[in-house]
Structures are given as structure tokens and as C-alpha cells.
Structure 1
Amino acid sequence: MFTPEQIAQFSELDYAIYDYVMKHPNEVAYMRIRELAEAVHVSPPTVLRFCKKVGCEGFSEFKAKWKLYLRETKQTAIISSQETLREFFERTLTADYERTILDAAAAIARADHVIFVGSGSSGILAEYGSRYFSAFQKFSVYIKDPFFPIYGHYFHNCAVIALSVSGETSYTLAQVHRFKENGGTIISITNRKHCTLANISDYNLTYYATPERIGQTNVTTQLPVVYLLERLAKEMYRLLGRKTETIGKDSSPTV
């Protein structure tokens, strides 16, 4: 509702109004301009000037925007973790979904190394994924810098695991595009099937979690992402183990 730029331009009286509004949000939503002015000990014209500084033509528009802001920031009911996982497995326990997981794991097993990308909470999980895959003997790194230079043969035979809830994060899309230009295999994990990241990926795993927000913050669960990362790592390790066994048998001496 109030931007840092707007707050920086407040006068001493504006700060007094701002402070009262923040401390009495529900009362202000139904006050008249004169009532607010009396509560803050300022004049109605001062309140009107305050409204114009925050992008409103008058006090009525300010109240309308304030009520909308309160509705958007109202804490909503949080879905339990058990319900989240139950929904995820119900939606994804299909033969096609299982095949995509196995195909993606095979692509990772064939790659020389794995590179994780993502930002925000997805970036935290990308860093976890790189550590987890490395524990399963596949060299993996997480590129945190969205402007990291990506070019050359080092990225030719790599598997890129891109994480994004929306699938529309600009920094992640830019990184994935550069990897794709250099011959990387793209595996994305998103919450929506119809998004840019899924469309440009070689393999996409969608977890279809119910979107959740508290105020302006996206708190959509990431439990399915953890499951998918660990499942991919273990399937990859199983495939690498089979490959090693096959090589061992082929190289055994004949009598």
C-alpha cells in the first residue's frame, strides 16, 4: 500500500497519519476524513494531502484501496503438510508421470555433471539438490549468480535442473536459455504445466500444489520438490550402479 518512495517524502504530519493508520488498520477503513483528522490531531486538508501523496485522489479512494489491501494481506487458512502430500501423490501417481521421472533420471545419469538453477525458495532447494546429488556420486553445483557467464564446451554434456514455482522467473529463464544454447539437457520442476520454463524444457515434472500466500509472500509448499529431487537422485544412482555392473561383467577375463 505504501511504497518506500512515498514514505521517504512524508512530512512530520504525514508520518503521524501513517503511524495511526498502521496501528489502527480496521478502524481507519470505516472512518470519515474528519474522524481521522481528529484522531491524529491534524486538519482534514492535511489528511487529503496525505492521500494524494500515496497516489489517491481523495479520502474515499484511499479507504477503498486500504480495504482492498487489508483483504489481500489477511492471513488465510494454511493447508496441512499431510493434505499437501496426499494431493500431490493422488495427482501424480500415473504411469506417464513415472515414465517422465525415469527418463529424466536417465538423462541425468548420462550427463557429465549436473547444474542447478533457481531463485528465492527455489534457489535454496536448488542448493540442497546439488549437495544431495553430489552425495550420490554425481558432480553437481548450484549457480547462485543469475549473471554467471555460461558458454563453452564445459556445459555441453550437462543436465540442468531448474526449479521455479511459477515457471516464469525471468532470471531462471535467462539462465536456462543460455544452457540450452550450449547443448545442456533441461529438466524443470514447476508447480504449473503451462508455463514458459516447462515449455522450453526437455523434461518437466509438475507437482500441482495448491498455491498459498500470506500477504504478498508466496508460501506454496515445497515438499513435493524435495521428494522429486531425492527421487531423481536415487533413480540416477540406481542407473549408474547398473552401468557399473555391466562394465564390470564386460571387462571380466575369459578362460
Structure 2
Amino acid sequence: MKKIVYLSLACAAILSAAEATIDPIAVESTVIDDVSGEELKSADVAEALSHEVPSISLVRRSGISNDIILRGQKKDNINVLIDDAKIYGACPNRMDPTISHVLTNNIDSIEIVEGPYDVENFGTLSGEVKIKTKKPTEDLHGEVNLNAGSFGYKKASGTISGGTERFKLLLSMSGETSGQYKDGDGNTFADQVDNYIAASNDPAAIAGVAYQDQYRDMDAYTKKTLMGKVFFDITDDQELRLGYTAN
């Protein structure tokens, strides 16, 4: 009988509640307010982030629409939010990464939260990328950007915003294109394939891999986007927001 009493007292002591003080956990984030630098392609947010944030590296897929690695992890381990909406990658092998659904010239700010500390949005493991696009303003203003670069790169973009105290409108448009990459000898990918076929022991066997004539001189990429937003204050406490984006 005494053994049972002793055991009950021990279990009660173990199960008794105790107060504990937990030290505050500081979660640091990186905020980028000017991601649309003139030296960066608007169509590649991934490349812009890899230049600005040390913990982000680039997964090169093409001239644009590349993917990112955050703290050694990638794909769906990175939570990407655009205006608080969770974005997923599209197509097989993530040909359209989550980060490619917005252009830098439409971005107001990007916040990078490293680590699984977000308690507001699900799916955050290695970190979170919070993208906020531009909002319409009451004051009338606009901007026009023209860029040019190597390999025939050209970009034109424009934004106009304005309105009244209750009604605000924003319209942003951009288009950019680039020619094909050339190696040190001045050969495009099509030329390199032709050289490979010519140097093989059996050119006829691999002749089918050559570029067709209609594709040999195509641009490497062409990217166009249109973003429009309308904010309307219904009452002092109610606001209607409408937005449309086409890529």
C-alpha cells in the first residue's frame, strides 16, 4: 500500500504545472525598397534578389524567369507571397518559378524573412519572400524608363498614377526583349549545334538535332506585362481594391 502511495505522489509531482519564462525570439528580415535597378532586367526578380541578398543564390534556367535558393533550400520550401497571396510554381520542372510572376518595375518592396519563423502563412520552411507591388497614389506622377544592353537587349516601361482623395488609379506597362547569347567566337546556340554536327563522325545520324530555319534567328525572349489597380474609398472605414496583371 505504501508503494502505491509513493508512486502516486511521484506522478503528481511530475505532472504538476510549472510556470516558465521564455525569452523573446528576435526575427530579423531584409527589406529591399529599390529592387528595380537600371542594371537589372525587369523580367528577372530572381537575379535581382541574388545581387541584393547574400543568403539567396540563383538557379540559372535561361536569360529570364530564373529560380532562387534561400538558405540552401529551394522550390516549395520557400514561401513566396505577392500582395499577401501565396504563389506556386507552374509547368513541369518549374518552367515558371513562383518568383517569375511579377516584374521588378511593378514592385514597391520585397521583404526577406529567413528561417521557419513565420506564424501567419503556412509553408514557410527555409524562409519567406514577401513582395508588395506598387499602389496608386493621390498625387499625379509618372515615370518612363528606356534601357539597352548587350546581346541586343532592349526595355521600355512606363507607370502613371493619380486620383483624388477617394479614387486612385495606377497603370503600369513594360516590354523587353533580347537577342540570342553568343560565345567568344560569335556563335549562337544554333551555330554551336551546326558545328557539333559537322565535327561528328556520322553527321547524318544527328542532323535532326539542328535548329529549323524559322527558329535560328529568333529572339532569346520577349516579355510584356500590364498591371492596373483601382482603389476606391466607399466610406471612411471601407475600401474597394481592384487589380489586374497580365504577363
Of Structure 1 and Structure 2, which has the larger fraction of its residues in helix? 1
TM-score w.r.t. length of structure 2: 0.23
Of Structure 1 and Structure 2, which has the larger fraction of its residues in strand? 2
TM-score w.r.t. length of structure 1: 0.22
